[in-house]
Amino acid sequence: MNQYRPLIGISVGDPAGIGPEITAKALSLPEIYDLCRPLVVAEAVMMKEAVKFSGLDLRIHTIFSPAEGLYQLGTLDVLDMRNIGTKTIKHKVISADCGRASFEYVKKVIELALAKEIDATVTGPINKEAINLAGFHYSGHTEIYADLTQTKDYAMMLVHEQFRVIHVSTHVSLREACDRVKKDRVYRVIMLGYDAGKRLGVKNPKIAVAGLNPHAGESGMFGREEIEEIRPAIKQAQKEGLNVEGPIPPDTVFSKMQGGQYDLVVVMYHDQGHIPTKLIGFQYDDRTKTWGSMSGVNITCGLPIIRVSVDHGTAFGKAGEGRANPESMIQAIKLATQLALNR
């Protein structure tokens, strides 16, 4: 193999959820080891249990630093945090113990990336209630990364194949999200999206900016945010040579991107971006009560390190049963590898 294989640190998420299982399943695939060197940050005994109930033929290699890893197919290199035992883990149950452990996994991969001991980080799903019960008061992974890397200017991007959205705000109330639609913030998110698009292989990203209000405000009839905040931000980016248009009504902009008119949409709040992305990436079958597809990943833009995450939650309902879909984890590892190679 001639190409450099980046070292990817994977924090598995909440031990009571599906994170350990989807990590083990993803790392049972030859294609992952062709691309990168995956390092699991978790508990060795926990990963051994996940391998067992998932019916996988994998050996656990316990290590305490990235340099000790073998990074060979058939072996899970686990940086053993020794935070929680299998007797303490109760699948499907929210607990402070699991919240503390999941936070420690995230903290560790961030430290390793900042110290340049790994090339990128991938995060499994955490439970926000659990980490808050443990005393870590964050609304999600994005905020943890921003705090621990001392980053003030950041944004969340969701990616499903060629469908990409980046958010002006995320984990706040809808009322507060409207108040956060300001020219400077919209402009910065456009710029962060442009930079991320280029790193994802798009030479000159075509960017659409969604409106906040129905019909993008209808010339001020339904709100003035488009006139007073969003349009001035777009004009500023256009002056700098970016290929950006808008504000475009939110009920048509995503269809236009899916049809190839745009490479990226700047959205104004959490659900404006998450709903269309998950609509095309997630496929639920009520007859079988299963998710046939859980595709799509989450990138935090603006950090000094690379962070890519699965785009779904802990799925406590199926945790510990060996039936979780690893699709999003596989995509996250592959995308983190691409970003590491394009730094």
pLDDT in tens, 51-92: 999 999 999 999 999 999 999 999 999 999 988 776 778 888
pLDDT in tens, 277-299: 988 877 766 776 665 555 578 99
Mean of the pLDDT values across residues 263-284?
Answer: 90
Residue entry with tokens 């935070």: 83
pLDDT reported for residue 71: 97
Please say if the pLDDT value at position 307 is more than 90: yes
Contact 268, 220 (CB under 8 A): no
Closest C-alpha among 141, 100, 62 to residue 313: 141
Residue entry with tokens 């990963």: 47
CA-CA distance, 152 to 25, in Å (whole number)? 35
The helix (H) or strand (E) run that includes residue 333 is helix 327-341
Mean of the pLDDT values across residues 322-329?
Answer: 89
pLDDT reported for residue 1: 45
pLDDT reported for residue 210: 98
Other beta carbons within 10 angstroms of residue 278's beta carbon come to 18
pLDDT reported for residue 291: 58
Average confidence score pLDDT of the chain: 92
Please say if the pLDDT value at position 24 is more than 70: yes
CA-CA distance, 66 to 9, in Å (whole number)? 9
Domains of the chain, each with CATH number or no CATH: 7-151+303-341 (3.40.718.10), 155-277 (3.40.718.10)
Mean of the pLDDT values across residues 118-135?
Answer: 96
The helix (H) or strand (E) run that includes residue 35 is helix 30-35
Mean of the pLDDT values across residues 87-114?
Answer: 92
pTM of the shown model: 0.89
Least confident of 168-177, 205-214, 274-283: 274-283
Q: Return the SS3 of 336.
A: helix
CA-CA distance, 273 to 166, in Å (whole number)? 7
pLDDT reported for residue 88: 73
Q: Return the SS3 of 244.
A: strand
Contact 41, 124 (CB under 8 A): no
Please say if the pLDDT value at position 2 is more than 70: no
Task: Name which residue leads in pLDDT, 84 or 248.
Answer: 248
